[in-house]
Amino acid sequence: CINVHPSLLPKHAGGMDLEVHKAVLAAGETETGCTVHVVTAEVDGGPIVVQPKVPVVPGDTPESVKAKVQVEEGPALVEAVRIFGTTGLPKGGDK
């Protein structure tokens, strides 16, 4: 199994939806993104496959950050599937 998480793991692991984007803004981060990773017993702790980034700029809100991250999620998932098709699951992932 794979998962798409709305942050650059390991930052904000375990968070969901707007909670993650609020935490990004509260931390004063200048970039965020999403992470496609292999699901393991550790929540959001599996091997990272793809991590596209987006900028966080002054005036961003949790909703605007979410919108920027969501644009990257579909292409990131497609890229992860492509990687799995050519190289298999990363070490540490269940086959």
Would you name the residues annotated as active-site residues? 5
Segment holding 2, helix H or strand E: strand 2-5
Query: Helix/strand/coil (H, E, C) string of 23-76?
Result: HHHHCCCCEEECEEEECCCCCCCCCEEECCEEECCCCCCHHHHHHHHHHHHHHH
